[in-house]
Amino acid sequence: MLEENKFSTLKDILKEMNTVDIAQAISESEPDKQVKIFRLLPKNSSAEVFSYLDSDTQETVINSITNVEIHNLVEDMFIDDAVDFLEEVPANVVTRVLAQTSRETREIINKFLRYPEDSAGSIMTVEMAAFHESLTVDEAINELRRTAQDKESIETCYCIDSQRKLVGLLPLRKLIVAKSGTVLSDIMLSDDRIISVVTHDDQETVAEIVRKYDLLSVPVVDYENRLVGIITIDDIVDVIQEENTEDFEKMALLLPSEDDYLKTGVLKLTRNRIVWLLILMISATFTGQIIEGFEDKLAVISGLTACIPMLMDTSGNSGNQVSTLIIRGLALGTVKPSDYFKVLWKEIRVAVICGIILAAANFVRMLTIRAVTGGETSTPVIFVVCLSMVFTVIIAKSIGCSLPILAKLLHLDPALMAGPMITTIVDAVSLLIYFGTATLFINHGLLPLK
Amino acid sequence: MLEENKFSTLKDILKEMNTVDIAQAISESEPDKQVKIFRLLPKNSSAEVFSYLDSDTQETVINSITNVEIHNLVEDMFIDDAVDFLEEVPANVVTRVLAQTSRETREIINKFLRYPEDSAGSIMTVEMAAFHESLTVDEAINELRRTAQDKESIETCYCIDSQRKLVGLLPLRKLIVAKSGTVLSDIMLSDDRIISVVTHDDQETVAEIVRKYDLLSVPVVDYENRLVGIITIDDIVDVIQEENTEDFEKMALLLPSEDDYLKTGVLKLTRNRIVWLLILMISATFTGQIIEGFEDKLAVISGLTACIPMLMDTSGNSGNQVSTLIIRGLALGTVKPSDYFKVLWKEIRVAVICGIILAAANFVRMLTIRAVTGGETSTPVIFVVCLSMVFTVIIAKSIGCSLPILAKLLHLDPALMAGPMITTIVDAVSLLIYFGTATLFINHGLLPLK
């Protein structure tokens, strides 16, 4: 439609569209059209659409509009969206944008940009409904009717005293059903029922609190308990997804990265991966040395070598199953370090049953293969493999549940610690058990040599 | 305090506490005290506290209170909380509870219990603010003041026509700033700006929509577009965490389970784990056969066997890194199947760089080990290992990015498909490359035999 210059039709369509969909459409169109579409937006929705654009498109738009347009845009945006946008674009764009904003807005933005990354302060917004506790219900409602349009969430209002200290919460439903003359301090929720976070709290802590108490927004206070902002749950949802992605990445031996996969360059992707690959390759020296020390015996006993990968994979998988459950449980708070002995006892029992079933299945499997392929694997070798299987599964499951809890106790990140460590330790231990069992059989003359 | 019979002090303390904290305190106290504390709660918060109790404690409480108390409790609860509770307790408790509820509530609950598990209908609630589109702003606000106390969320109100069809959304802030006489249909957001879900939509779809559009609640309609309920974002947060846990479990070769780890019995834990362990153990027959076929040569060439675990681990890790990124990208919508060739080309370049770095590091590592331990690994063997390393990493990364996308195209779950398959395929392929390279060297007389 742009090409056909049907501007007014397009304008009408845009009026009926959801802002998120408009933002997506703009991001997907060609750079020279992006600004044209953006300028057709109704005045009251352009700031919202802008905050949903990806940062490349935001830059393109900013670089093509006038200073007056920039001024209006930034003043119309919620502070948290403006801060998000400024954190992503190059410094020269930031300078130009800040030059066009009012002194007041600029001061707030600068303050926000100074909060540590991933802190409550960096993700909060200042557009909340806050009233002095001495107001009456009518005064509060009138004030709200006057200002509600600019608030990010009004489902809960906040009551403050003369020093701006947070003294109470007031769900909107409670406010609008209250009798006209009532003073807010008589109906607000106070004391222990106020759930709040401090500006320097980590966003992960904030997410836990919001999730635990089922909040739609949480007030942010400074160290003197003065109300400085709120964090709304839609931003918390993004935090939760970020934290989950980080755990996935750590457990898959990647350095965590906040960039989208498709937008990350080859060199950065390589850097995020090579670190753990190198560390684990070098630590594989242990398993290599264990095998080398046993190489002479492997060479004269048929079938022993062929089972190494199967044993190592099975024990690695067993260990990873438990560690994932425990890491996830620790992250969600359903497992606590104090549960350790309960967990260990449970895992040992699970491991014994799993180990026996796997060993039995393996016994049948190896007999079948020998019968079908006419291989030379002797029955005692099969016994060695099955016996080792039971023990390696038990050890793998014990290590798998112990390492994440140990990491948590040492204030290390379970996801980071446990994933990489478990493979290496379990690999080495299962080889030692395997060769130990084989040696025991050899010493008793039970394993026939070639 | 219970033991000292200080009931009134305790009652005062409970009044000041947050309902979530009270629920936690009750869940952690002894069974005989749970009901005593519960009965001390102020009438207006007992239903809320009850909905935060775990299902065991809910059962204990229900079994110890009178029929009248059950009636009041269930009528005071939000429908979605009541349904959650009834889905978890035994059938006899459900029968007793439903017998005590009013006919109207019972009918709604029964309808909810019939929605498919994990559908929008099963997690929605009916306590929303819905107005006929022909009401004026004053009428709507009065209606809201009369009923707001019972609504789960009033941040957005919903406009319906005479057939209860959803015709518009009205953010509360827009309602309270509107002029008195205005008719709702003139200020509501309509047409494409209405985002809604259908009762039978999967909860995962709902979560995606809520996340994409940053909604605090989403209306649920039936197939005739009649408004039947809303889903609030606090329930969506739980859905998101559940889906993430499910992906973690699938990628760690576990059958997904919704139960808390500590509450799951040994046999159920075993069942969730043994399936994939057995499948993968049996599929390790491939790697076993590959090694067995090469056993004679392994026996006469020092150092080849010792490097098998290192090569398999490195390629397995390389493959898992990519597949995790792609599975996560597909889940969050940042990677689409149509990006496949872009992804593959990126991965091949990353793999070439990673492979060369790893091979170089390995070359130094193996030379160092030989120098330190005086091992017998010959330089040509080291070359075979390094060369295989480059190729296995390239193949592993290609498989790692292809399998999840293939799974998605086949409408299979990438997390379920990719995790288990990648280890098995990559293991076999890397052994074939390794032995293939070694055979090439042997055929050209480049590998010295013992």
Q: Report the C-alpha gap between A384 and A162 in whole angstroms.
A: 78
Task: Answer yes or no: do B354 and A288 touch at CB < 8 A.
Answer: no
Co-location of B143 and B42 in the same domain: no
Q: Which of A187-196, B266-275, B410-419 has the lowest mean pLDDT?
A: B410-419
Domain check: are A137 and A88 in the same one?
no
Distance in angstroms (rounded) separating the CA atoms of residues B228 and B305 = 66
**In the structure, what pLDDT confidence band is assigned to residue A434 with cuts at 50, 70 and 90?**
very high
Tokens of B96: 């007793």
pLDDT in tens, B185-228: 898 988 778 899 999 999 989 998 988 888 888 999 988 899 98
Nearest-neighbour CA in chain B from A431: distance (Å):
10
Contact A241 B240 (CB under 8 A): yes
Is B153 close to A353, i.e. CB distance below 8 A? no
Structural domain includes residue A158 = yes
Are B253 and B419 spatial neighbours (Cβ–Cβ below 8 Å)?
Answer: yes
Q: B104 and B127: one domain?
A: no
pLDDT band at A263 (very low <50, low <70, confident <90, very high): confident
CB pair distance less than 8 Å for A312 and B317: no
Q: How far apart are CA B441 and CA B283, in angstroms?
A: 29
Question: What is the per-residue burial (b if ≥16 Cβ within 10 Å, else e) of B196-205?
Answer: bbbbebebee
Residue B343 CA to residue A310 CA, distance in Å, equals 31
> How far, in Å, CA of B279 to CA of B41, rounded?
53
Contacting residues of B for A385, CB less than 8 Å apart: none
- Partner-chain contact B280 A144, CB within 8 Å: no
pLDDT digits (tens, 9 = 90+) for A120-131: 988 888 888 899
A265 occurs within a structural domain: no
Within 8 A of B21 by CB-CB distance, chain A residues are: 192
Q: In whole angstroms, what is the distance from residue B335 CA to residue B340 CA?
A: 9
Instruction: Answer yes or no: do A127 and A110 share one domain.
Output: no
**What does the pLDDT look like over A201-238, one tens digit per residue?**
999 899 989 988 888 889 999 888 999 889 988 888 88
pLDDT at B258 over 80: no
In this predicted structure, what is the pLDDT of residue B257?
80
Q: Please write the tens of the pLDDT for every residue from A318-371.
A: 998 899 889 888 888 888 999 999 999 999 999 999 999 999 999 999 999 888
Give B126 to chain A, closest Cα distance, Å: 17
Domain CATH code at residue A28:
1.25.60.10
State pLDDT tens for residues B276-333: 888 888 888 888 889 888 888 888 888 888 899 899 989 988 998 899 889 888 888 8
Element (DSSP H or E) covering residue A156 = strand A153-160
The better pLDDT of the pair B150, B234 is held by B234
Percent of chain B scoring above 70 in pLDDT: 98
Radius of gyration of chain A (CA): 31
Picking from B364, B358, B390, B391, the residue whose alpha carbon sits closest to that of residue B379 is: B364
Chain B hits for A244, Cβ within 8 Å = 244
Please identify, among A211, A232, A253, the residue that sits at the C-terminal boundary of a domain. A232
- Give residue B71's domain range: 7-114
- Chains A, B: CB contacts under 8 A, how many? 339
How far is A54 from chain B, CA to nearest CA, in Å? 12
Q: What is the largest CA-CA distance in chain B?
A: 99
Burial tier of B225 (Cβ tally within 10 Å: 0-12, 13-18, 19+): middle
ipTM of the complex: 0.79
Q: Which of A240, A253, A306 lies closest to B240 in CB terms? A: A240
Q: Which residue of B291, B321, B357 is in closest CB contact with A305?
A: B291
Q: Which residues of chain B lie closer than 8 angstroms to A329, CB-CB?
A: 260-262
Per CB-CB distance under 8 Å, the chain A contacts of B230 are: none
Distances (CA, A) of B384 to A184, B34, B444: 79, 69, 13
φ and ψ at A227, to 5 degrees? -70, 120
What is the model's pLDDT at position B5? 65
CB contact under 8 A, B284 and A310: yes
The answer to whether residue A264 is domain-embedded is no
Eight-class DSSP state of B191: G
Mean pLDDT of chain B: 86
Q: What pLDDT shows up at residue B4? A: 64
Chain B residues inside the 8 Å CB shell of A195 = 18
CB-CB under 8 Å, B270 with A354: yes
**Three-state secondary structure call for residue B64:** helix
Q: Mutating which of B28, B180, B310 best tests the A interface, going by the most A Cβ atoms within 10 A? A: B310
- Nearest chain B residue to A18 by CA distance is B193
Q: What is the CATH number of the domain that holds A201?
A: 3.10.580.10
Within-domain flag for A254: no
Q: Are residues A228 and A362 in the same domain?
A: no
Chain A residue with minimum CA distance to B129: A173
Query: Is there a single domain that holds both residue A438 and residue A289?
Result: yes
pLDDT in tens, A55-65: 888 888 888 88
Is B280 close to A313, i.e. CB distance below 8 A?
Answer: yes
- Pair B310, A288: CB distance under 8 Å: yes
CB atoms B303 and A320 under 8 Å: no
Give the distance from residue A349's alpha carbon to the nearest chain B alpha carbon, in angstroms. Answer: 7
| B52 lies in the same domain as B168 | no
Among B142, B272, B324, B338, most A C-beta atoms within 10 A, so best to mutate, is B324
Find tokens 């834990």 and name the residue. Answer: B269
Same domain for A178 and A204: yes
Distance from CA of A314 to the nearest CA of B (A): 6
Residue in B closest to A259 by C-alpha: B334
| Residue at which a domain ends, from A114, A137, A154 | A114
B-chain residues near A289 (CB < 8 A): 306, 369, 373
- Measure in Å the smallest separation between the Cα of B109 and chain A Cα atoms: 22
Task: Please state the φ and ψ torsions of residue A345, each to the nearest 5 degrees.
Answer: -60, -40
Rounded Cα distance between B296 and A248, Å, is: 41
Best mutation target among B176, B240, B247, B358 (most A Cβ atoms within 10 Å) is B176
> What pLDDT score does B450 carry?
66
B357 with A274: Cβ contact below 8 A = yes
Average pLDDT over residues A116-123: 86
pLDDT at A4 (0 to 100)? 64
In this structure, the number of other CB atoms found within 10 A of the CB of residue B420 comes to 18
A94 located within any domain: yes
Q: Are B58 and B89 in contact (CB under 8 A)?
A: yes
> What residues in B contact A287, CB-CB < 8 Å?
309-310
Q: Chain A partners of B267 at a C-beta cutoff of 8 Å?
A: 353
> Residue A228 domain-assigned?
yes
Average per-residue pLDDT for chain A: 86
Q: Is B37 helix (H, G, I), strand (E, B) or coil?
A: helix
Domain assignment of residue A252, yes or no: no
Count CA atoms within 13 Å of residue A337 on its CB side. Answer: 11
Contact B295 A273 (CB under 8 A): no
Q: Say whether B332 and A245 touch across the interface (CB within 8 A).
A: yes
What pLDDT was estimated at residue A2? 62
| Residues of B with Cβ-Cβ distance to A273 under 8 angstroms | 318, 321, 350, 354
Q: Which two tokens stand for residue B231?
A: 């889903």
Q: What is the pLDDT of residues A74-106, one digit of tens each?
A: 888 888 888 888 888 887 888 888 888 888 888
How far is residue A141's CA from residue B354's CA, in Å, rounded to a whole number?
A: 62
Instruction: Say which residue, B337 or B253, is predicted with more confidence.
Output: B337
The verdict on B335 and B303 lying in the same domain is yes
Q: Please answer yes or no on whether A313 and B423 come within 8 Å at the CB atom.
A: yes
Q: What is the pLDDT of residue A390?
A: 95
CA B391 to chain centre: 35
Structure tokens at B259: 């139960």
Say how far apart CA B170 and CA B185 lie, in whole Å: 9
**Residues A196, A198, A204: CA angle, nearest 5 degrees:** 85
Closest-CA distance, A355 to chain B, in angstroms, reads 9
Judged by DSSP in three states, B376 sits in: coil
Inspect the interface and report whether the beta carbons of A306 and B320 lie closer than 8 Å.
Answer: no
Of B212, B253, B335, the CB nearest to A317: B253
Residue whose entry in the numeric block shows the structure tokens 């994933």: A419
Among residues A84, A114, A144, which one ends one of the domains? A114
Interface probe for B, chosen from A22, A266, A297, A315 (most Cβ of B below 10 Å), is A266
At B374, the pLDDT band (50, 70, 90 cuts) reads confident
**Interface contact B17-A192, CB threshold 8 A:** yes
Has residue B412 got a pLDDT over 90? Answer: no
Q: Does some domain include residue B319?
A: yes
The continuous run of DSSP H or E covering A153 comes out as strand A153-160
| Per-residue pLDDT tens digits for B119-174 | 898 888 888 889 999 999 988 988 888 887 777 778 889 999 988 899 999 988 88
Residues of chain A positioned with their CB less than 8 A from the CB of B154: 155, 172-173
**Angstroms from B358 CA to nearest CA on chain A:** 6
Residues A70 and A156 in one domain: no
Chain B residues touching residue A365 (CB < 8 angstroms): 281-282, 285
Alpha carbons A179 and A77: distance in angstroms, whole number: 35
Chain B: residue whose CA lies nearest to A377: B292
User: What sign for the dihedral angle of Cα B157, A169, A128, B233?
Assistant: negative
Q: Strand pairing of B166-171 and B153-160?
A: antiparallel
Nearest Cβ partner for A153 among B144, B155, B193: B155
Number of domains in chain A: 3
Query: Do A26 and A82 have their domain in common?
Result: yes
Beta pairing, strands A128-132 & A153-160: parallel
- Chain B residue numbers with beta carbons less than 8 Å from the beta carbon of A317 are 253, 276-277, 280, 423
Query: Nearest by CB to A309, which of B241, B260, B308?
Result: B308
* Chain A contact set for B20 (CB, 8 A): 212-214
Q: Any idea what the CATH number is for the domain that residue A328 is in?
A: 1.10.357.20
**Residues B92 and B149 placed together within one structural domain of the fold:** no
Minimal C-alpha gap between A8 and chain B (Å): 18
